[in-house]
Amino acid sequence: MLRTRIAGVGHYVPENVVTNNDLSLIMETSDEWIQERTGIKERRWVATDSEDTTSSMGTAAARKAIADAGLEPSDIDFIIFATLSPDYYFPGPGVQVQEQLGLDTIGALDVRNQCSGFVYGLSVADQFIKTGMYKNILLIGSELHSGGLDKTTRGRGVSVIFGDGAGAVVLSATEEEGKGILTTKLHSEGKHAKELALLGPATSRWVDTIMEENDPEDLSYYPYMNGNFVFKHAVTRFQEVIHEALAEAGKSPEDIDLLIPHQANLRISQYIQAKMGLGADKVFNNIMKYGNTTAASIPIALSEAKAEGKVKDGDLLCLAAFGSGFTWGSALIQF
Ligand code: UT7
């Protein structure tokens, strides 16, 4: 039976480090507040004179993942790109990666599931590989948030959280017993779409309307988050969807060698860890260094965890995400 294994991982983060103290110089905030509420110490924000874009960071991470898999770019037969911060409104960045890597005219799919984008993309790739349609799929999560945040005191509830960066994996077909993706679980609840969203400019709020109204109170072109509300849903959904995957695979929390949650807030990860009775060494966190990089957070964390020797051959890995939509999902992988 064909299964999907993670053959290679890689990540790229921009050089420019922005500390909490740096932020306190441009808005009313403090290192103490940010660390206490989120665990974040610093994040990467693309420097204004940098040439990094969402697609170029994705391509940089992809090159590393392809090399890690021992493959050449020409071995890739499909691209999946997850982001909420594309270079262009359209087309999505998948095609830019095809061009930047100099690939044949292979298919490129863009996934718009925000913080859950990587897990959704993983599930889609898994179906393509299991059916034998593709052998080596490049899955990328990349975000360039910094250019679109409200960096004044007004926007501090959102802007201090988000960071820039990219992660990628190569997913390959295997028939090896005991290897690969065991299950993926995906969910959504659109009634909460506006609790974490960027509403305009889009077709429900055209640029013309925004410009005509010229309303200084209109913040529709900045991301909005009802933080407390999102937090409460996140802690419940994370646990639910992890248990759902474990149940389907006939596993229990003790079987998990490493849980890599979407890096939304260190307090959320710690809450899940405690509720699920997992040891601190069983949950990987790097939000302290990068903030919340949305679709990129899981592949960046996976790439770092592997580099640090925290994910080994045969380990049971659990990935889980929750975010805007709301959407959430999980994956269980025998590494
Ligand atoms: O990745 C997608 C999923 N996202 C999440 O899961 C995020 C979930 N939510 C959260 O992580 C938290 O809700 C936040 C970190 C966003 C906010 O933490 P909170 O404990 O919920 O704070 P709050 O929004 O209730 O704000 C508490 C106070 C407010 O002041 P008052 O009204 O009590 O005087 C805010 O104005 O903290 C103030 N505040 C800040 N103060 C200093 C908000 N942001 C900041 C800030 N610095 N950056």
Query: What is the reported pLDDT for 178?
Result: 82
Query: What is the reported pLDDT for 11?
Result: 98
> Among 174, 189, 211, where does a domain finish?
174
> Among 174, 203, 231, where does a domain finish?
174
Query: What is the reported pLDDT for 319?
Result: 98
Query: What is the reported pLDDT for 177?
Result: 86
Kindly report the CATH number assigned to the domain that includes residue 60: 3.40.47.10
Residue 38 near ligand 1, beta carbon < 6 Å: yes
Helix axes 117-130 and 297-307, enclosed angle (nearest 10): 80
Q: Report the predicted TM-score, pTM, of the whole model to 2 decimal places.
A: 0.97
User: Are 120 and 157 within one domain?
Assistant: yes
Q: How far is the CA of 280 from the centre of ligand 1 (A)?
A: 25
User: Are 156 and 220 within one domain?
Assistant: no
Residue 237 near ligand 1, beta carbon < 6 Å: no
Residue 234 near ligand 1, beta carbon < 6 Å: yes
Q: How far is the CA of 33 from the centre of ligand 1 (A)?
A: 9
The set of residues, in sequence order, having a beta carbon less than 8 Å from that of 171 and lying 6+ positions away, is 4, 5, 6, 7, 122, 125, 126, 129, 136, 137, 138, 139
Q: Indicate which residues carry an active-site annotation.
A: 115, 262, 292
**Which helix (H) or strand (E) segment is 259 a member of?**
strand 258-261
Domain that holds residue 279: 180-334
User: Are 89 and 187 within one domain?
Assistant: no
> Among 141, 174, 207, where does a domain finish?
174
Count up the domains in the chain and report the number. Answer: 2
Residue 55 and residue 87 in contact, taking contact as beta carbons nearer than 8 Å: yes
Which residue's alpha carbon is at the smallest distance from atom 41 of ligand 1? 29
Q: Whose structure tokens read 């393509």?
A: 128
User: Are 125 and 220 within one domain?
Assistant: no
User: Are 230 and 156 within one domain?
Assistant: no
Closest C-alpha among 196, 53, 57 to residue 113: 196
Which residue's alpha carbon is at the smallest distance from atom 44 of ligand 1? 157
User: Phi-psi bin for 177: left (phi > 0), alpha (psi -120 to 50), beta?
Assistant: beta
User: Are 270 and 309 within one domain?
Assistant: yes
What is the pLDDT tens value at each position of the chain, 335 positions in all?
Answer: 899 999 999 999 999 999 999 999 999 999 999 999 999 999 999 999 999 999 999 999 999 999 999 999 999 999 999 999 999 999 999 999 999 999 999 999 999 999 999 999 999 999 999 999 999 999 999 999 999 999 999 999 999 999 999 999 999 999 998 899 999 999 999 999 999 999 989 999 999 999 999 998 999 999 999 999 999 999 999 999 999 999 999 999 999 999 999 999 999 999 999 999 999 999 999 999 999 999 999 999 999 999 999 999 999 999 999 999 999 999 999 99
Residue 125 near ligand 1, beta carbon < 6 Å: no
